[in-house]
Amino acid sequence: LHFSFGEYNTEVIITREIPQINVIAENFLNSIIIADKNTAYIAEKIRGIHNIPLCILESGEENKNWQSAEKILECAHNKKLGRDGLFLAAGGGVIGDLSGFAASIYKRGCRFALISTTLLGMTDASVGGKTGFDLFDIKNLIGTFYPAEKVFIPADVLITLPQNEWKSGMAELLKTAILSGSGELMDLISANREDLKQFNSEKIDLLLKLIEKAVLFKGCIVSEDPKETGSKRILLNLGHTFGHALESTAGLGKISHGEAVAWGMVRACDLGSSVGITPKERAAEIKELIASFGYSCVYPAELSGNADMLFNAMKNDKKNKSNSLRFIVPDAKGACPVTFDSEKETKLIINILKGGIAQ
């Protein structure tokens, strides 16, 4: 698949096996490979016998910070990479976002390619060029737009992905299906729920098809609105205003991104229904689908009494304009943005956060 995101082009190659280094890049000796502890084995396989530095970072959202970005820059500097050098990331969304960010600022921008290793990365994070890291407890506060020139999706590596990470990725796939309305993606997922609850190498063809559809959907949206300045790309944030607030309030890394997004999509349905945008049957259908994959749809008991904290966390969301809160809610065909006055409509939002549907 080929996409053009503003001034950048991205080629996405969906395969089963980990690609060979000479397929990834012609001048592969002029590169560094970035991975985390759990994806280091993939980086080692790619490197093979060649003398390419590996930059192995600590894993997880709690390490999506400046210190990790600096380690990548240090590795490139030690290797004396020029602007024509390649940052090759092998990992999930955290490694991808950090490496893309580091590539975008190293010598004002060097080459960047990505081998995506999580379901979340393969269906969403690897495509579209958002890079960055968390700061001051705010998700992705710092970042750039810097799409990878090539994205490899070797689906076989999902065999080592822990089940909770599979579930986290499935939430972003459900998000894409919801956004694409009642199309083929939704039908395929609905009809194959049991086979999609965990990685199943016998169902790899189904998985490859779903990944391709998700990448195509995201790629097309981002092509139309690469820097989220229009009304298209923002739709990909369905469930994220609520979800990011939950992640931040619980403590970054405590609740997986996907679990938080799934919970956020349920809240988005409640909000959409309460303002007459999400038809009741569609909200019920979406909630049933989310619940059938085992996501928690209720207010997390451990956050009881913290609706105000969640609300304050939402006020930091990057999608907001001053004094307003912006949400994406499902509508009859896909989803649409809605804006609320954060002063006037506090009660409505807090009620939704607590799991109630305001009338």
Ligand X SMILES: NC(=O)c1ccc[n+]([C@@H]2O[C@H](COP(=O)([O-])OP(=O)(O)OC[C@H]3O[C@@H](n4cnc5c(N)ncnc54)[C@H](O)[C@@H]3O)[C@@H](O)[C@H]2O)c1
Contact positions vs ligand X (CB under 6 A): 36, 38-39, 59-61, 64, 91-95, 97, 117-118, 120-121, 124-125, 128, 130, 139-140, 157, 160-161, 165, 168, 257
Residue 15 Cβ vs ligand X, minimum distance, rounded to whole Å:
14
List CB contacts of 234: < 8 A, sequence separation 6 or more. Answer: 225, 228, 319, 326, 328, 337
Where are the extended beta strands (E) located within 22-146?
Answer: 31-36, 54-57, 86-91, 111-116, 133-135, 138-142
The one catalytic residue among 150, 167, 175, 228:
228
What residues form DSSP beta bridges with 41?
A: none
The one catalytic residue among 172, 175, 306, 326:
172
Give the CB-side neighbour count of residue 230, counting CA atoms within 13 A: 9
Which CB sits closer to ligand X, 93 or 330?
Answer: 93
Where are the extended beta strands (E) located within 145-284?
Answer: 150-154
Residue closest to ligand X, measured at CB: 93
Q: Is 77 a catalytic residue?
A: no
Which CB sits closer to ligand X, 39 or 306?
Answer: 39
Q: Which of 78, 200, 80, 64 lies closest to 89 in space, CA to CA?
A: 64
The one catalytic residue among 47, 175, 213, 257:
257
Residue 131 Cβ vs ligand X, minimum distance, rounded to whole Å:
7
Using CA atoms, how far apart are residues 10 and 184, in angstroms rounded to an integer? 25
Residue 102 Cβ vs ligand X, minimum distance, rounded to whole Å:
14
Q: Is 244 a catalytic residue?
A: yes
The one catalytic residue among 175, 213, 233, 267:
233
Q: Is 108 a catalytic residue?
A: yes
Q: Is 288 a catalytic residue?
A: no
Three-class secondary structure of residue 335 per DSSP: strand
Which CB sits closer to ligand X, 61 or 317?
Answer: 61
Residue 236 Cβ vs ligand X, minimum distance, rounded to whole Å:
8
Q: Is 47 a catalytic residue?
A: no
**What length does the chain have?**
359
Give the type of residue at 133: F
Residue 328 Cβ vs ligand X, minimum distance, rounded to whole Å:
14
Which CB sits closer to ligand X, 140 or 296?
Answer: 140
Q: Are strands 111-116 and 86-91 parallel, antiparallel or unpaired?
A: parallel
Three-class secondary structure of residue 228 per DSSP: coil
Q: Is 240 a catalytic residue?
A: yes
Using CA atoms, how far apart are residues 239 and 346, in angstroms rounded to an integer? 18
Q: Is 172 a catalytic residue?
A: yes
Q: Is 218 a catalytic residue?
A: yes
Where are the extended beta strands (E) located within the chain?
Answer: 2-5, 8-15, 31-36, 54-57, 86-91, 111-116, 133-135, 138-142, 150-154, 324-330, 335-341
Which CB sits closer to ligand X, 85 or 219?
Answer: 219
The one catalytic residue among 150, 167, 244, 282:
244
- Active-site residues: which are they? 108, 130, 172, 218, 228, 233, 237, 240, 244, 257
